[in-house]
Chains A and B, each alone.
Chain A
């Protein structure tokens, strides 16, 4: 009854598309390294599969000429106070100490709205753009003419981890594919001997939700973020190093025989590209064993460069190294690096979660972020890389313009409006998108959802966010769910 039924006139493309079938037709397509790198038996689940100039790149991508070829996301978890950093609110000074009214029911995370509190920091205008930045960021303040600010980000949750998940994956739940995984899946990489999506956690520790923040979710395994261990004496990634007990000669001889054995086995199944890809994967693994140690070795970096990132300052060196490493990874073809400026919640505070004492918290966090991040922007610029690199900075939400509790010295979580910035390729430099109301409580103009934010990032990378899809349980899933509009106003 079902075979030729008339009530199902079409089969969705993905249900019949088969990668192996296609590869079988693509002659001896194995020459293309791409196949080995990305081979996925469940090929039907990818929207389309044809070899392209870049290994593993989805057909049709870029959807239009990209402005940025690579991207860095600096993530400052915990909730950076927008009204104390980039969102200058002179009105708050007048209303200091008063209750906020006229905004409906105030419902902050800990349920204790205090009184409006003027910024804990002094603001000044900087650069030709005259952008307001607080004294917390003296170094970043010198970069404002290269930055584009989004003052009206809105997110769904006032709880850290769901909000972090949303900033990273578009969803507030666990294990959805992260932005980096989507980019890895869409863009592939020009350098097969480095991962496509590298995460550099804060040297003080992983964020809440740990590796769930860079999960590949339902995307194939190779798109999971690879978190580099940056502590001395550790391997950058698991199993990279051949154990000392195994001599090079022995390993080489074993690998030669392995290749022979595997070729013989593959010979029994002509046209099975997966088996051929396995042989190739061992060659790539060997390349990775040299390319990663090379990338993490700063020998070739001048003292001036290292000092610019703060490597000569014990306090800054941890995050500074990660910033420098990020630049080196980008140079070597890694398309997406995520840097963490902050770890898990807990005591003592190692992220931006300034409930108790904002000044004490933000002073420290700001110092750690400011110089290295500014150095990264300047370094990319002086090398001409900022022209086709996108740098994104965000937290998961902002902080309330009022104190937490009447006599409080801190501020509570605030998902209703907060500031992020981007810099680099394709953006209007020195531009400020959206304005919050007089106290920074909610958007007065141009609310920007996290979906919009993601759509804009993908757009700059040459990807139409509605067309970067992956079939999983009933739907062609997207980073932006069923939402998202590119913020064209902010684009050059």
Chain B
């Protein structure tokens, strides 16, 4: 043992009394020590391992051992930490481990409870017997649940159990096996369930629940009249077959997956092709797509063979959240990487919460604080999805959703069309090459200021305007010569005189004066050096005759016919894209020219420069273009080059026009072969994924490969992949793992979500959190029974609806019961159906349905009740319109982040871009104001009044009846009729409609 320090001596003296206890109990030790000597692995796990894991490993683990003491394995324990060995084999009295737990200094206050006497003795006996340890066993704090955190033994990570349906006393109440589970809990608490609700209540409840719309009076009457024993089952079947069902339940899913139709962040740009994912979700619900398939498609539908359009669109899920385009504006690498890591965390958080109700994203910087996810789990999940991105650079992630076969077909269809287009284009170009092209003035509104006195006659005032024309390849094919006259006023900025093609083209050339010095210069990015400067200032407010000769190698600059610079250039790689020829500036970069430009001439070959021309430049055989800027005709400056072929210009122009018209027609035809796009982002093969220590980009840790969650043993989290595996195969493996029949979470989580939407509350109250901080299931056996039944019935959501809705629990009345209310005020054990307020979308949809204004159009691009202005960011200005296109169901409203509706907001519609696994139901004055005064609401009241009059005429009593039947599905009482009639007489029918549409009964499902 190392020499004891004074501090340790102090400890020792402090702990003496305990020491005595240990000595006292050592008599016991000999009698049981043989159990350890035999190395009994089972008892080791149940005793020593459990004690260490639950009480010590939280701090004394290999990743960050407090006091450098690691208690995860035998050698480390014997080696010990800062204070010396933790255990000395055979000598519990000399072992620090015992000393510290016995004196209560470990675990420290706030980190855990003191060990019991029994536990201390167990450890002491184990040390006494020789610190036996199963070979290779390494303990982890994530293995076992403690009162601070969940371990791998946490309930939701255990296999789904086959539950037996319990026996109950009041078996008459039972409608389905679900009820036995519910009733068994109620009977245990001596709570009576509620009787079945009336048929009138049931049809309203079921219709609002499954379709998000109210039943019509006819539907109600029909159901009431249907006395077949299976009338209610038939009702459910009818509702599940309605396309309205997918719109309603698809919206629930969109809540969970944080579906947004704009980017958020700085620009909040609208995503015009995001709606395809929304339609995919709605269609999937309507088609009762097996949930395992639904999950797989959203994670990896783009690589799931055979690839379908649906599968491609489904992966819009991955990128349904916000995207920061500005990360690509940044030159800062720090900023780009930061933004990318945040984006990955957003995507991984959504995946782990949506499908598994786990927050693996909380293990990004360190092991999860509450659930058994080591930091490696986050990064191995990241490795599975590291190839997913919203964009490629700034190229937004709208991608073709054509399948390979469709692409082939399309290519075959359009090949001849494209061929024809090319042919026409080259014919037109050939004509244009023979035609002298005039230059068009950029801003026709400033004609009067654009023409000023020049060197000869008029000239272009480049301070206020520019001119340009389509360029031609002959303008950049050396050898060539460019000349002009120019008068420049200032050298503060660049003054571009003539610029040919875009700067990105290797065929770009420009002549200009350099900012600062004002010297005549040339720029040719297709050559090296790309800049040739004369050093001669030409910005003195006087006209100069300027020329550039270029033979492909030698470039010469002349000012007033004097050679001022000669330079040898070498051609660089690059393509010669032909664009436009610009005079007096370079508009693509908003570079101007403070001065006047006159007499531009481009010539084939090297035209010798012999003195300053005394008069206007002339056109000859070598002249390719000559613009004198003397006169504007139809906003154009003439080109004085003579036509080179025998035909005259008028004839050529006519030919060109005919060809152009033909071209336009064919291009129109191409449009019918439009490529359907969807916002699904991009996939790239990523570099190896590294764990980041403390989540910090500056400290990468070991390489990690794609895998499942380590706490789940079955299905195996090992996908057998490497860092070279194709990114698509990683996602596919992950999806296979997620939808394995053995997976403990996937089925439980979706079953709980569906239950929650039916009852207003899940069996687990935290639908996206089945971890330590979440709620425990109120009916665990029922949850497992439902999950098992669900998977057995082909992961069918519609089957699950039928199961749940046919239960007596679901069909209960919502009326109160004094005794039950006292015992279980929260109705956690389901002794009644809890009434609940409709969600925001449903409020709006029901208003439209009742006023008969609802437009039932299914799917397609979202309606956009706003105008957009762009001032760097996109601003969405809402408007209210009575037009039918804006009266579609709310699920089709463009779900943009900063274009939220005050009416929907007031009814707790969640912000797009963050997951809302559960809707709130708040009551606020803003909500009252919205229903009181919102022009949309008032209009629906008015329309209901009009429809009522049209339907029943002027009898006030009948009007009231009609409104009640239509809006809340029942007949009014005598008193209600009397009150309403009085109101109508004084303030009109629409006021009565307003009252009903503001009433709680209208807004509540009971």
Residue numbers of A with Cβ under 8 A of B are: 1-3, 5, 7-12, 15-16, 18, 20-21, 24-25, 36-42, 44, 107-112, 156-162, 172-176, 192-193, 195, 205-206, 208-212, 215-218, 220-222, 224, 226, 237-243, 246-247, 249-250, 253-254, 257-258, 260-262, 265-266, 268-272, 274-275, 277-278, 280-282, 284-285, 287-289, 343-347, 471, 473-476
Contact = CB atoms under 8 A, between A and B. Distances in A.
Given A20-B826, A257-B979, A274-B923, A241 B933 contact: yes
B898 A2 contact: no
Interface in B188-203: none
Nearest to A261: B999
A208 to B, nearest CB: 5
A81 to B, nearest CB: 18
List 9 A-B pairs, minimum CB-CB distance, nearest first.
Answer: A111-B331, A2-B780, A474-B359, A346-B872, A15-B775, A41-B921, A210-B898, A285-B928, A238-B902
Contacts of A278: 923, 928, 1000, 1003
Given A1-B780, A16-B775, A265-B999, A210 B322 contact: no
Interface in B884-933: 897-898, 900, 902-903, 905-908, 911-918, 920-930, 932-933
A174 B816 contact: no
A246 B923 CA distance: 25
A111 B334 CA distance: 11
B969 interface: no
Contact of B923 (A240, A281, A471): A281
Interface in B952-1006: 976, 979-980, 983, 986-988, 991, 994-996, 998-1001, 1003-1004, 1006
A278 B843 CA distance: 15
A262 B821 contact: no
A345 B266 contact: yes
10 contacts: A42-B920, A175-B322, A208-B873, A209-B268, A212-B898, A238-B934, A261-B976, A346-B871, A474-B766, A474-B774
Given A272-B835, A475-B359, A174 B144 contact: no
B353 interface: yes
B815 interface: yes
Contacts of B908: 220-221
Contact of A262 (B781, B913, B1000): B1000
A172 to B, nearest CB: 6
Contacts of B776: 2, 8, 11, 15
A331 to B, nearest CB: 20
Contacts of B930: 238-239
B682 interface: no
B358 interface: yes
A239 B872 contact: no
Given A9-B147, A11-B775, A157-B338, A475 B362 contact: yes
Contacts of A222: 922, 924, 926
Nearest to A39: B923
Contact of A41 (B264, B362, B771, B836): B836
Given A25-B825, A41-B836, A239-B932, A10 B871 contact: no
Interface stretch (B128-136, B148-156, B211-219, B390-398): B148-156
A158 B907 CA distance: 36
Nearest to B163: A1
B330 interface: yes
A211 to B, nearest CB: 5
B617 interface: no
A461 B761 CA distance: 35
Given A243-B933, A288-B925, 17 more contacts: A2-B158, A7-B153, A9-B145, A20-B826, A157-B339, A161-B265, A174-B322, A175-B322, A175-B914, A216-B911, A237-B926, A239-B930, A239-B933, A249-B987, A253-B983, A254-B991, A347-B872
A261 B995 contact: yes
Interface string B617-656: 0000000000000000000000000000000000000000
B324 interface: yes
B920 A220 contact: yes
Given A1-B780, A109-B331, A274-B923, A173 B911 contact: no
A174 B913 contact: yes
Nearest to A7: B145
Contacts of B324: 159, 161-162
B920 A221 contact: yes
B834 to A, nearest CB: 9
A303 B150 CA distance: 65
Nearest to A195: B926
Nearest to B258: A175
B837 interface: yes
B591 interface: no
B774 A40 contact: no
Nearest to A172: B342
B561 interface: no
Interface in B816-838: 816, 821, 825-826, 835-837
Nearest to A287: B925
Contacts of A40: 920-922
A272 B827 CA distance: 12
B999 A253 contact: no
Contacts of B999: 258, 261-262, 265
A400 to B, nearest CB: 11
B781 A473 contact: no
Nearest to A271: B821
A181 B914 CA distance: 16
B214 to A, nearest CB: 16
B928 A284 contact: yes
A205 to B, nearest CB: 6
A206 B876 CA distance: 11
Contact of A260 (B144, B774, B906, B979): B979
Contacts of B920: 40-42, 220-221
A344 B923 contact: no
A192 B339 CA distance: 40
Nearest to B997: A258
Interface in B310-349: 322, 324, 326-327, 329-335, 338-339, 342, 346
B370 interface: yes
Given A25-B825, A288-B929, A344 B871 contact: yes
Nearest to A289: B929
B881 interface: no
A20 to B, nearest CB: 6
B266 A12 contact: no
Contacts of A345: 266, 872-873
A40 to B, nearest CB: 5
Nearest to A17: B826
Nearest to B267: A208
A351 to B, nearest CB: 10
Contacts of A282: 925, 928, 932, 998
Contacts of B903: 239
B765 interface: yes
Nearest to B986: A253
Contact of A208 (B266, B765, B917): B266
Contacts of A221: 905-908, 920, 922, 924
B1006 to A, nearest CB: 8
B773 interface: yes
Nearest to B988: A250
Contacts of A8: 145, 150, 154-155, 776
Given A15-B775, A265-B1000, A240 B929 contact: yes
B147 A108 contact: no
B871 A281 contact: no
B905 A159 contact: no
B238 to A, nearest CB: 28
Contacts of B322: 173-175
A174 B766 CA distance: 22
A236 to B, nearest CB: 11
Contacts of A16: 775
Contacts of B153: 7
B928 A209 contact: no
